[in-house]
Amino acid sequence: MVFSSEAFLYVFLPVALLAYYAARMLPGGNRLSHGVLTLFSYAFYGWANPLFTVLMLGSTLVDYALGRVMVAGKPLDVDGRLPTLTPDTPRTRRQRAALFGSIATNLGLLAFFKYFNFGIDTYATVADTTGLPGLDPSLLLRVTLPLGISFYTFQSMSYSIDVYRGHAKPLRSFIDFACYVSMFPQLVAGPIIRFSEVATQLQQRTHTVAKFARGVGFFSLGLAKKICLANPAAEIADLVFDAPNVAAAEAWLGTFAYSLQIYFDFSGYSDMAIGLGLMLGFAFPKNFDAPYRSRSITEFWQRWHISLSSWLRDYLYIPLGGNRKGEARTYVNLAMVMLFGGLWHGASWNFVVWGAIHGLMLGFERAQGKASLYRRLPAFASVGITYALVCFAWVFFRAATLPGALDHLAAMMGQAEPTSAAFAVRALAWQPYNLVMMGLGALIVWGAPWQVWDFTRSLTPIRGAVVAAALVLALVQLSTQSYNPFIYFLF
Amino acid sequence: MLIDREKQAVDEMANTTGSPWVLWTLTYGFLLLLVIPTATHLATSSATLIRTGIAIPKALTGLPTGPFDASHDTLQAIDAFEAELRNGSPLAQKLRPATQTALFRTLGVGNAQVIAGTDLPVSPRVGRRLYFRPAVQHVMGPPFLSQARLKKRRREGNAWTAAIEPDPRPAVRHFAEDLRRRGVELMVLPIPVKASVDGTALRVPKALRNPSWDPFLASLDRLGAGGPNVLDLLRKRKGAQFLETDTHWRPEAMDAVAQIVAASLKKRGVKTGRRLRRTAPVEVQATGDLADLLGVWPGTIALDTVQVPTLGSPPDRSKATVLVLGDSFAGIYEDPSLGFGDHGGFADALAHHLGQPVDAIVVNAGGAWQTRQALADQADRLDDIDVVVWLFTGRELSLGDWRDVRLPETDAVVDPRWVRVPDGEAGLPIRGTVTAIAPTANPLSSTYPDQVVALSVAIEGVPKGAPGSVAWLMAWGLEDRIQQRASELAVGDQISVGATAFGDAPRAALTAGRSELPSRPTAVPLLWVNQWESP
For A442, B458, B466, B468, B469, the CA distances from B463, given in Å and listed in that order, are 67, 9, 6, 9, 6
Taking the C-alpha atoms of residue B16 and residue B29, their distance in angstroms, rounded to an integer, is 19
Other beta carbons within 10 angstroms of residue A207's beta carbon come to 15
CA nearest to B373, candidates B396, B403, B337: B403
Torsion angle, alpha carbons of A238, A244, A247, A253, to 10 = 10
pLDDT of residue A486: 61
Residues of A in contact with B110 (CB under 8 A): none
pLDDT of residue B123: 44
Taking the C-alpha atoms of residue B326 and residue B335, their distance in angstroms, rounded to an integer, is 12
Cβ <8 Å between B30 and A220: yes
Q: Which amino acid is at B142?
A: P
Question: What is the average pLDDT value for chain B, to the nearest integer?
Answer: 84
CB B48 within 8 A of CB B479: no
Give B422's pLDDT tier (boundaries 50, 70, 90).
very low
**pLDDT above 90 (res A253):** yes
Q: Does the active-site annotation cover A345? A: yes
Torsion angle, alpha carbons of A354, A360, A363, A367, to 10 = -150
Taking the C-alpha atoms of residue A335 and residue A281, their distance in angstroms, rounded to an integer, is 38
Helices vs. strands in chain A: H and E counts, helices first: 22, 0
Cβ <8 Å between A423 and B19: no
Cβ <8 Å between B92 and A479: yes
pLDDT of residue A484: 63
For A241, B186, B227, B265, B349, the CA distances from B268, given in Å and listed in that order, are 44, 11, 11, 5, 19
Q: Give the residue with greater pLDDT, A40 vs A421.
A: A40
Taking the C-alpha atoms of residue B86 and residue B438, their distance in angstroms, rounded to an integer, is 21
Taking the C-alpha atoms of residue B405 and residue B371, their distance in angstroms, rounded to an integer, is 10
**pLDDT above 90 (res A49):** no
Give B159's pLDDT tier (boundaries 50, 70, 90).
very low
What is the number of residues in chain B? 535
E strands in B194-332: 278-286, 304-311, 322-326
The distance from CA B351 to its chain's CA centroid, rounded to whole angstroms, is 26
Q: What mean pLDDT is predicted for residues B284-310?
A: 86
Query: CB neighbours of B21 closer than 8 A, spacing ≥ 6?
Result: none
**pLDDT above 70 (res B341):** yes
DSSP state of B131: E
Other beta carbons within 10 angstroms of residue A324's beta carbon come to 10
Q: What mean pLDDT is predicted for residues A312-337?
A: 86
Cβ <8 Å between B103 and A471: no
- Cβ burial A374-407 (10 Å sphere, 16+ → b, else e): beeeeeeebbebbbebbbbbbbbbbbeeeebbeb
The distance from CA A150 to its chain's CA centroid, rounded to whole angstroms, is 9
**Could you read off the pLDDT of B259-282 as tens digits, one per residue?**
999 999 999 888 888 888 888 888
Residues of B in contact with A477 (CB under 8 A): 99
B interface mutation test: which of A21, A158, A428, A473 has the most B CBs within 10 A? A428
Torsion angle, alpha carbons of B379, B384, B387, B392, to 10 = -40
CA nearest to B137, candidates B119, B114, B157, B118: B114
Q: Which amino acid is at A362?
A: L
Query: CB neighbours of A5 closer than 8 A, spacing ≥ 6?
Result: A483, B82
pLDDT of residue A260: 96
CB B23 within 8 A of CB A459: yes
Taking the C-alpha atoms of residue B427 and residue B413, their distance in angstroms, rounded to an integer, is 19
**Could you read off the pLDDT of B170-199 as tens digits, one per residue?**
999 999 999 998 899 999 999 999 999 988
Other beta carbons within 10 angstroms of residue B54's beta carbon come to 12
Task: Return phi, psi of residue A263, to 5°.
Answer: -70, -50
Give A60's pLDDT tier (boundaries 50, 70, 90).
very high
Strand, helix or coil at B290? helix
pTM: 0.84
The number of C-alpha atoms within 13 Å of A118 and in the hemisphere containing its C-beta is 18
For B42, B498, B530, the CA distances from B425, given in Å and listed in that order, are 36, 9, 9
Candidate from A197, A278, A425 with C-beta closest to B6: A197
Q: Which residues does residue B532 pair with via DSSP β-bridges, in sequence order?
A: B497
The H-assigned helical ranges of B283-369 are: 289-294, 328-331, 346-354
B345 Cα to chain A: minimum distance (Å): 31
Cβ <8 Å between A433 and B140: no
Task: Return phi, psi of residue A379, to 5°.
Answer: -55, -45
pLDDT of residue B30: 96
CB A298 within 8 A of CB A362: yes
CA nearest to A292, candidates A390, A437, A362, A361: A390
**Could you read off the pLDDT of A371-427 as tens digits, one per residue?**
666 678 888 899 999 999 999 999 999 998 898 899 999 999 988 887 778 888 888
DSSP state of A146: P
What is the C-alpha radius of gyration for chain B, rounded to an integer number of angstroms? 26
pLDDT of residue A225: 94
Taking the C-alpha atoms of residue A60 and residue A195, their distance in angstroms, rounded to an integer, is 13
Q: Which amino acid is at B139?
A: V
Other beta carbons within 10 angstroms of residue B393's beta carbon come to 27
> In chain A, pLDDT over 70 holds for what percent of residues?
95
Q: Which residues does residue B130 pair with via DSSP β-bridges, in sequence order?
A: B116
Taking the C-alpha atoms of residue B251 and residue A19, their distance in angstroms, rounded to an integer, is 59
Cβ <8 Å between A6 and B195: no
Burial class (CB in 10 A: 0-12, 13-18, 19+), B46: exposed
**pLDDT above 50 (res B210):** yes
* Cβ contacts from A onto B, under 8 A: 220
Residue in chain A nearest B26 by alpha carbon:
A213
pLDDT of residue B302: 79
Strand, helix or coil at B253? helix
Taking the C-alpha atoms of residue B255 and residue B212, their distance in angstroms, rounded to an integer, is 27
Candidate from B100, B109, B204 with C-beta closest to A420: B204
Task: Return phi, psi of residue A423, to 5°.
Answer: -70, -40
Q: Which B positions 77-96 lie with beta carbon below 8 A of chain A?
A: 78, 81-82, 85-86, 89, 92, 95-96
B156 Cα to chain A: minimum distance (Å): 10
Query: CB neighbours of A268 closer than 8 A, spacing ≥ 6?
Result: A222, A223, A224, A225, A226, A229, A230
Taking the C-alpha atoms of residue B235 and residue B216, their distance in angstroms, rounded to an integer, is 19
**Could you read off the pLDDT of B382-418 as tens digits, one per residue?**
988 999 999 999 999 999 999 888 888 755 444 544 4
Cβ <8 Å between A420 and B31: no
Taking the C-alpha atoms of residue A250 and residue A421, their distance in angstroms, rounded to an integer, is 12
Taking the C-alpha atoms of residue A7 and residue B78, their distance in angstroms, rounded to an integer, is 9
B337: alpha, beta or left? (left if phi > 0; alpha if psi -120 to 50): alpha
For A297, B162, B430, the CA distances from B167, given in Å and listed in that order, are 44, 16, 38
CB B382 within 8 A of CB B124: no
DSSP string, B448-472: SS-EEEEEEEEETTS-TTSTTSEEE
Cβ <8 Å between A7 and B3: no
Whether B202 has its CB under 8 Å from any CB of chain A: the answer is yes
Taking the C-alpha atoms of residue A434 and residue A234, their distance in angstroms, rounded to an integer, is 10
Residues of A in contact with B139 (CB under 8 A): 421, 424
- Greatest mean pLDDT among B300-304, B451-455, B506-510 lies in B451-455
First to last CA, chain B: 60
DSSP state of B343: S
Choosing from A167, A207, A305, A345, which is the catalytic residue? A345
Q: Which amino acid is at B38?
A: T
Taking the C-alpha atoms of residue B108 and residue B127, their distance in angstroms, rounded to an integer, is 12
**Could you read off the pLDDT of B342-395 as tens digits, one per residue?**
888 999 999 999 999 999 999 988 888 889 988 988 888 898 899 999 999 999
For A430, B122, B300, the CA distances from B106, given in Å and listed in that order, are 15, 7, 12
What is the C-alpha radius of gyration for chain A, rounded to an integer number of angstroms? 23
The distance from CA B449 to its chain's CA centroid, rounded to whole angstroms, is 9
Taking the C-alpha atoms of residue A463 and residue A444, their distance in angstroms, rounded to an integer, is 16
